[in-house]
Structure 1
Amino acid sequence: MPDTPAPPVFTPREVRLIVLGLTLALFLSSLDQTIVATALSAIASDLGGWELMPWVVSSYLIASTVTTPIYGRLSDLYGRRPVLLASITLFALGALLSALAWSMPMLIAMRVVQGLGGGGLRAISLAVVGDILPPRERGKVQGYLSATFATANISGPVLGGLFVEYLSWPWIFWINLPLGAAAFAATYFQLRRLPRPGRRPRIDWLGALLIVLSCTPVLVGITLVQRAGHWTAPEAWGCFLLGAVFLVALVAQERSVPQPMLPLHLFRNGVFRTAIIVTGLASMVMMALTVLVPLHYQMVGGLSAKEAGLRMIAMTLGSVSGSFLAGQAVTATGRYRFLPILGSSTALAMCLVVAWLGLGHSLWLDTLVTLALGLGFGCQFSPITVVVQNAVDPRDGGVAVSCMMFFRLMGGAFGVALLSALLLGRLPDHGATAAPAQAAEAFSLVFLAAAGLAALCLAAALALKEQPLRGRD
């Protein structure tokens, strides 16, 4: 393992400037996952290739997800600053070429380039916090970053719609250039003092390739399940089987090399393993409800798309507030276990309430329930990053956090596919001709399933061990 010098002590002003750059980087990677959604119709009308339209989103999601653990490991071996700068540059290049795309295949290819950069932005932004602050003091900053993630997820569709309506669809990519330049400048100047490993690393390139080959088919299979609306599509299961074959090869490879791209000893750490399960299950519930609650408003409550979007603001505010308050609580108390327990309990209770009462009938009830859901999600996500960083050797900090983010993203993808397929399977013609009563019954089953996932998350949170958070000493 490479030698890792002790990180320097940063002043409060330096920490604020670094966090600003990290916030911009994380906002970029998260925003680009959602800002394209409302512009897809305009893009397809301009470039043609309607049948390829879904891959404009999926290509970025797949590329950014499968590279997340690779970037984390590279930052452990080469240092955070050079890898983060390379990620920002690659992301901005992909955005520039996407804005200039003259055909749908070219746009999809450039979205892959952008996703290759986006995976590094997301993974390393969280890992850098572990280099500039001890675990006891990270809660507040991780709360800010988690709030940024939630804000980007909800503001993306809104910004995409505004750009299309008042400017043109390439602006959803042009906006990344000034934000990327600001993130690059902040990272370039403020992270120069971070130490770099002293020894020349030996890169497990075969392990990196096997990570890509094992994860990409799984994500493609999930995409096919979402499109089909059921889990019986043979092409999807073919993808899952192919991913499983490469996963076996990945495990064999990582056991045999001295510096593996994905250190398997991390998964022997009980706290790390439990935290991964908590964040994966929480993401399954959150991402699925982010997609399905607006549909519920429209199909059961009879609200317009605009009204449904406005009622989602409460969930966003709750998630941002929950992340911020949870981060403050970790820093103030030095304890974290009670937060995912509280968050998953709240999510479980609210899913049961929605399954029983439904949404779209009362503005006040909708606001109260979705606000509580958001608060629950915020309490689950913000502390877990600190838990993971505190539980592992600092030399594995980057790959540990990136693994956490990877399982969070994979959990979200599986959650959306699982509950969407369950919903569509209960509706005639995939919901096109469903009466409100039929839709209400189907959504009730979906929210009961979400409550089941939240209950599993609660069980995992109860199994999470409390470890003292390291301070500066």
Structure 2
Amino acid sequence: MRDTPDVIPPRPGFTQREVRTIVLGLTLALFLSSLDQTIVATALSSIAGDLGGWDLMPWVVSAYLIASTVTTPIYGRLSDLYGRRPVLLVSVTVFVVGAVLSALAPTMLALIAARVVQGLGGGGLRAIALAVVGDILPPRERGKVQGYLSATFATANIIGPVLGGLFVEYLSWHWIFWVNLPLGAAAFAATYFQLRRLPLPGKRPKIDWLGAALIVLSCTPMLLGITFVQRAGSWLAPEALLCFGLGLAFLVALILQERVASQPMLPLHLFANRIFTAAICITALASMVMMALVILVPLHYQLVGGLSAKDAGLRMIAMTLGNVIGSFLAGQAVSATGRYRFLSLLGSSVAVGMCLVIAWLGLGHSLVQDSVVTLLLGLSFGCQFSPITITIQNALEPRDGGIGIACMMFFRLMGGAFGVAFLSSLLLGALPAGATGAAAEPAFAMVFEAAAVVAGLSLLAGLALKEIPLRGRD
């Protein structure tokens, strides 16, 4: 008979003022993690010019992405066993230390190592911040807050590249890391003072360190394999196949370990919950489409529509704005109606339709058409992502709240990575060398049709999602 950690005690009553203060701190933590993924991209050439090592430049981004992704489920489980507050404080501290090391890095290799440290902290910021909402509010009242937090991701996507460009032009690339210090200090202070009343598990946990190691060993080769696929433009690249083989082998070992562990790092019983499994499929498939389109839509603007990089970036604002608005409105709708399934179906249906519109009509021909189509795409993503957090928290036991949200974030990140690799390799395989304008349009049409198929699978997962009443304070 397995031991299980004591169920987290009932949430203490928080006043509206306390909730607002806590949410502000959580928003800072989420913004800290999300901003880092976008602010670095615009400074890469400046960093490589200063430190050298142009061939290592992509690893400045990949190192953070891999480290933060593979540690996300580990942080979520540790927060269930030790409590949200101490684990979130550790995450913020590690993240800020990594930012300082990055700012002071004398070589490209030192910077990549520092980015790994920063990613080890970033993995906890996202998962635990979302899980804390489940500790302070019942599911029926979380919609508005989750909408705000989901909008934070999209806002960071808008501000990040702009800030990165400004820092590089007027200060130096070092400031893209120094800016994390005041933000990190504010997030640490808010966490330290405002989360002291959160309940702690009453039983001394038994940490499944072997399970944690196997999570890292199974996920890291998978993400490295995706990186090799993107570079080679083929899923049959020898390095990618080797990485995927290693990842699958360690995944089998992970499943065997978690079946016998007394307090598994990744509880397999979560996947026996049909609502949880359907929600994970929805978020992974939707992320595949969204992250791939964030890369491919600007490329379509430039290669087919003939727009400059600047104009292509400006036209992406509509999609990002739609994501922010969609997340906010979806959160309001969940709180008002107590229902979430219709939002997933609506979002995935609109995503299918807009992908097909782009495939048939193209982009870059009309500003009005581009704005409407990409705005609707952004709205569809907001409708899919925002309610999923509440769906998962409502379907799971309180003791599994942290690992449940961490799994959601993990599969969202993995789905996004696979989506970019899948659709990018599809484009590279069909796009004639040097093709632009009308010559490139059929290749892009095929890619957007494939994106519509993936969005259609998300719609099917939404049809399988069972809706149960959202719990209130009673």
Q: TM-score, normalised by structure 1?
A: 0.99
Residue of structure 2 equivalent to 1:20: 24
Residue of structure 1 equivalent to 2:214: 210
Which aligned segments of 4 or more residues in structure 1 are displaced greater than 6 angstroms? none
Work out whether 1:413 is the aligned partner of 2:414.
Answer: no
Match of 1:65 among 66, 69, 73: 69
Distance 2:162 2:234 in 1: 29
Work out whether 1:256 is the aligned partner of 2:260.
Answer: yes
Deviation at 1:419, TM superposition (A): 0.5
Distance 1:166 1:123 in 2: 34
Question: Superposition pairs for residues 311-460 of structure 1, below 5 Å?
Answer: 311-429=315-433, 433-460=434-461
Question: Superposition pairs for residues 110-149 of structure 1, below 5 Å?
Answer: 110-149=114-153
Distance 2:158 2:274 in 1: 33
Question: The residue matched to 1:369 in structure 2 has which SS?
Answer: helix
Partner amino acid, structure 2, of 1:450: A
Partner amino acid, structure 1, of 2:121: G
Deviation at 1:470, TM superposition (A): 0.3
Distance 2:292 2:190 in 1: 34
Distance 2:13 2:142 in 1: 14
Deviation at 1:117, TM superposition (A): 0.2
Question: The residue matched to 2:440 in structure 1 has which SS?
Answer: helix
Work out whether 1:306 is the aligned partner of 2:307.
Answer: no
Partner amino acid, structure 2, of 1:162: L
Deviation at 1:2, TM superposition (A): 2.3
Work out whether 1:2 is the aligned partner of 2:5.
Answer: yes
Distance 2:54 2:305 in 1: 30
Match of 1:96 among 89, 100, 114: 100
Distance 1:192 1:351 in 2: 46
Question: The residue matched to 1:302 in structure 2 has which SS?
Answer: coil
Distance 1:243 1:150 in 2: 31
Distance 1:435 1:23 in 2: 42
Identity of aligned residues (%): 79
Deviation at 1:353, TM superposition (A): 0.3
Distance 1:35 1:415 in 2: 22
1:257-282 CA deviation, whole Å, 9 max, x = no partner?
Answer: 11000000000000000000000000
Distance 1:199 1:395 in 2: 12
Residue of structure 1 equivalent to 2:168: 164
Deviation at 1:438, TM superposition (A): 2.2
Distance 2:9 2:464 in 1: 34
Residue of structure 2 equivalent to 1:291: 295
Question: The residue matched to 1:147 in structure 2 has which SS?
Answer: helix
Distance 2:235 2:432 in 1: 17
Deviation at 1:167, TM superposition (A): 1.2
Residue of structure 1 equivalent to 2:78: 74
CA contact (8 A) 2:211 2:257 kept: yes
Distance 1:102 1:403 in 2: 36
Partner amino acid, structure 2, of 1:111: R
Which consecutive unaligned segments of at least 5 residues does structure 1 have?
none
Deviation at 1:155, TM superposition (A): 2.3
Farther-moved stretch of structure 1 (188-197 vs 223-232): 223-232
Residue of structure 2 equivalent to 1:466: 467
Deviation at 1:426, TM superposition (A): 1.2
Deviation at 1:435, TM superposition (A): 2.8
CA contact (8 A) 2:432 2:440 kept: no
Distance 1:235 1:2 in 2: 41
Distance 2:259 2:439 in 1: 51
Distance 2:44 2:26 in 1: 28
Partner amino acid, structure 2, of 1:175: V
Residue of structure 1 equivalent to 2:245: 241
Partner amino acid, structure 2, of 1:436: G
Distance 1:104 1:127 in 2: 35
1:341-369 CA deviation, whole Å, 9 max, x = no partner?
Answer: 00000000000000000000100000000
Match of 1:155 among 159, 166, 170: 159
Distance 2:306 2:193 in 1: 52
Work out whether 1:47 is the aligned partner of 2:51.
Answer: yes
1:297-342 CA deviation, whole Å, 9 max, x = no partner?
Answer: 1111111111011100100110000000000000010000000100
Distance 2:135 2:123 in 1: 19
1:104-130 CA deviation, whole Å, 9 max, x = no partner?
Answer: 000000000000000000110000000
Partner amino acid, structure 1, of 2:215: I
Partner amino acid, structure 1, of 2:58: P
State the superposition RMSD in angstroms.
0.7
Residue of structure 2 equivalent to 1:107: 111
CA contact (8 A) 2:5 2:263 kept: no
Partner amino acid, structure 2, of 1:439: A
Distance 2:32 2:241 in 1: 33
Question: The residue matched to 2:305 in structure 1 has which SS?
Answer: coil
Deviation at 1:250, TM superposition (A): 0.2
1:161-201 CA deviation, whole Å, 9 max, x = no partner?
Answer: 12111111011101111000001111110000001111110
Distance 1:234 1:462 in 2: 38
Residue of structure 2 equivalent to 1:190: 194
Match of 1:220 among 204, 224, 235: 224
Match of 2:277 among 252, 270, 273: 273
Question: The residue matched to 1:67 in structure 2 has which SS?
Answer: helix
Distance 2:293 2:147 in 1: 21
CA contact (8 A) 2:364 2:370 kept: yes
CA contact (8 A) 2:278 2:465 kept: yes
Question: The residue matched to 2:339 in structure 1 has which SS?
Answer: coil
Farther-moved stretch of structure 1 (110-119 vs 25-34): 25-34
Paired residue total: 470
Question: The residue matched to 1:198 in structure 2 has which SS?
Answer: coil
Partner amino acid, structure 1, of 2:5: P
CA contact (8 A) 2:75 2:87 kept: yes
Distance 2:420 2:29 in 1: 25
